[in-house]
Amino acid sequence: MLRLLERIGRGTATAVAALGALLALGAAETGAQGKPPAPLHLEGSAAPMPWARYKGWNKATWDTYNTLAQRDLTKPAGKEIEIKGSIDGDAKKGKDLSFSRARGGGCLSCHVMGPETLELPGNVGPDLSEIGKQGRTDQWLYNYVYDPRVYNAESSMPPWGAHGLYTEAEIRDIVAFLKSLATPATYKNALDDPTKRPLPVEDRDGLDPFVNPAAERIDPGEKLFAAVGRAGKACATCHGDAKKTFAEWANTMPRWEPRLKRMLGVEEFVYRHARATTGESYLMQSAENTDLSVFLRFVVHGKATRVDTTSAEAKASLERARVLSTVKVGQLNFACVDCHTPEKGALKWIRGQYLGEPKGQITHFPNWRTSRNEVWDIRKRLQWCNVQVRANELPPDAPEYADLEFYLTVASQGMPWEAPNIRH
């Protein structure tokens, strides 16, 4: 504090940054263990604004469907549609539509559909191989595909008709195909049977840069920690050796930040604290932010996750996250729980991808995604899980993601941090 005052007294250009830090200090309550709370730049967004989706991602927007922040956009389900007489669509066309991945991923993402089922079907939904002889009415089949919410408000299946993924005529063709299904599936390759497919095992050495390109980011992160910023100081000037000073820090994040009134994760902290101290602007998702965050995670490698779950704010955040995890978003109308709780999709296959449950999902972030050739922090993963279900993503510093990050971290409480790591 005294040093900051001296700096302001000198009236240098850096005093502006120092003043910002001082104000932030003044506004805050005293931190844990009697330490002053970390100076934070509290104004504005920690992400580039206006937020624009990443290059190479689906460019579409889905403005008429719920997002995690705006939850009253999706129209509720209509009434059951009455079908007079029997449906006689084109079963061949229906099969092609069901098997194609073009729109919404296709039915085989979640269902096995008879002996002609293509490679690597999923099993989030029931095996439909014999649905044609199970006494379903045409009206049931039509409505289930058009909008399953008519029968099951919490259905994990998208409302294919109501959300415009297939036309009514196409759904008639799909129903004709479903009615033709009467023979159990047989698999040419044992891998194709989702009930027998071996579970993915991740045993690569995440810290070996020859194996994991994300490990190449540890050194640049350490160099940034030692680099003098525009305010004349480096992280190391005030903190010394991060391996000692922060040997128990990143594993205690996210944490409630009273000045921002939200859960603060490592990446958002790096931006707001660097702005207030070194004067550097490492916006979330920038290379520098990722490098420093990878480094701060690396120094807690092997340490147990231990976030505070006892405070009233932590409990309130968990409750918000619990609700968020059940909000149906996007054109495909999915909630996190549809894919990530064992009662629903988790521990099953969605096409060739095995869906994880919340426990153990976060302790390997940031990680290298081999399918995207990039390092992803947890916020980018959450954005991807939104865009994949055709929901507009939120900026990475959105408080909704912060609550979900906290929730995922609590689910891994006690587990060792293993970042940086590598995943498909």
Q: Does 98 bind ligand HEC (CB under 6 A)?
A: yes
Q: Is 45 in contact with 389 (CB distance < 8 Å)?
A: no
**Shorter beta-carbon distance to ligand HEC: residue 37 or 209:** 37
Among 107, 185, 263, 422, binds ligand HEC (CB under 6 A): 107
Q: Does 385 bind ligand HEC (CB under 6 A)?
A: yes
In whole angstroms, what is the distance from residue 209 CA to residue 311 CA? 39
Among 45, 237, 286, 341, binds ligand HEC (CB under 6 A): 237
Q: Does 362 bind ligand HEC (CB under 6 A)?
A: yes
Q: Is 127 in contact with 112 (CB distance < 8 Å)?
A: yes
CA-nearest of 176, 179, 141, 177 to 160 is 141
How many Cβ atoms sit within 10 Å of the Cβ of residue 403?
24
Which residues, in sequence order, are CB contacts of 236 under 8 Å at separation 6+? 225, 226, 242
Q: Does 149 bind ligand HEC (CB under 6 A)?
A: no
State the nearest-atom distance from the C-beta of 70 to ligand HEC, in Å. Answer: 14
Amino acid in the structure at residue 129 = S
Which residues, in sequence order, are CB contacts of 160 under 8 Å at separation 6+? 104, 145, 146, 147, 166, 171
How many Cβ atoms sit within 10 Å of the Cβ of residue 239?
13
Among 142, 334, 406, 417, binds ligand HEC (CB under 6 A): 334
Rule CB under 6 A: which of 46-75 touch ligand HEC? none
Which residues, in sequence order, are CB contacts of 124 under 8 Å at separation 6+? 109, 110, 156, 339, 344, 345, 348, 349, 350, 355
Handedness of CA 6, 12, 18, 23 (dihedral sign): positive
**Shorter beta-carbon distance to ligand HEC: residue 27 or 238:** 238
Which residues, in sequence order, are CB contacts of 93 under 8 Å at separation 6+? 170, 173, 177
**Shorter beta-carbon distance to ligand HEC: residue 192 or 369:** 369
Among 23, 120, 249, 304, binds ligand HEC (CB under 6 A): 249
Binding mask 258-297 for ligand HEC (x = CB under 6 A): ------------x--xx--xx-------------x-----
Stretch that binds ligand HEC, among 41-49, 79-87, 104-112, 412-420 (CB under 6 A): 104-112
Q: Does 110 bind ligand HEC (CB under 6 A)?
A: yes
Q: Does 36 bind ligand HEC (CB under 6 A)?
A: yes
**Shorter beta-carbon distance to ligand HEC: residue 385 or 410:** 385
**Shorter beta-carbon distance to ligand HEC: residue 338 or 397:** 338
- Residue identified by tokens 């850096």 is 14
In whole angstroms, what is the distance from residue 166 CA to residue 238 CA? 59
Q: Does 382 bind ligand HEC (CB under 6 A)?
A: yes
In whole angstroms, what is the distance from residue 199 CA to residue 354 CA? 7
Q: Is the peptide bond before 420 cis (omega within 30 degrees of 0)?
A: yes
By CB under 6 A, the count of residues binding ligand HEC is 59
In whole angstroms, what is the distance from residue 140 CA to residue 170 CA? 16
State the nearest-atom distance from the C-beta of 18 to ligand HEC, in Å. Answer: 8
Among 62, 142, 144, 417, binds ligand HEC (CB under 6 A): 144
Stretch that binds ligand HEC, among 46-54, 145-153, 184-192, 301-309 (CB under 6 A): 145-153
Q: Does 406 bind ligand HEC (CB under 6 A)?
A: no
Residues that bind ligand HEC (CB under 6 A): 31, 35-36, 38-39, 98, 105, 107, 109-111, 124-126, 131, 136, 141, 144-145, 148, 152, 155-157, 160, 174, 178, 225, 233, 235, 237-239, 246, 249, 270, 273-274, 277-278, 292, 334, 336, 338-340, 350, 353, 355-356, 361-362, 381-382, 385, 389, 404, 408, 423
